[in-house]
Amino acid sequence: NAGVMQNPRHLVRRRGQEARLRCSPMKGHSHVYWYRQLPEEGLKFMVYLQKENIIDESGMPKERFSAEFPKEGPSILRIQQVVRGDSAAYFCASSPPGGLGYEQYFGPGTRLTVT
């Protein structure tokens, strides 16, 4: 059973460009979570999605950031007009339906560098 997949693993964007980060959950998992890790910080919760629904986006910055988890295909975290402060590692996690919310399986992360 493949684990949580994230791509790309490394992404370089110039200031003002858009960044799209993809996350494919484990097979059978319908809950996806995004976390951000700033340099020398722990991971911080951003958003919790189920298929076609945003359940909790309380950790998302109010502007430029959006997330979706369509019926088909991976979850996407989109950052518009990136700034240097967006440089971080972005981790995706997934959990099965009906499972305990805290039992999350993490992907390897996408490291975003904004130049």
Which positions lie near another protein, rule CB under 8 A?
3-4, 9, 31, 33, 35, 40-45, 48, 56, 59, 91, 95, 100-102, 104-109
Residue 17 or 111: the one with the smaller Cβ distance to another protein is 111
Residue 76 or 89: the one with the smaller Cβ distance to another protein is 89
**Helices (H), ranges, the chain:** none
Q: Specify the 3-state DSSP secondary structure of 98.
A: coil
CB within 8 A of 46, min separation 6: which ones?
33, 34, 35, 36, 57, 59, 60, 65, 67, 77
Say how many residues make up the chain.
Answer: 115
Residue 52 or 56: the one with the smaller Cβ distance to another protein is 56
Smallest gap from residue 26 Cβ to another protein (A): 11
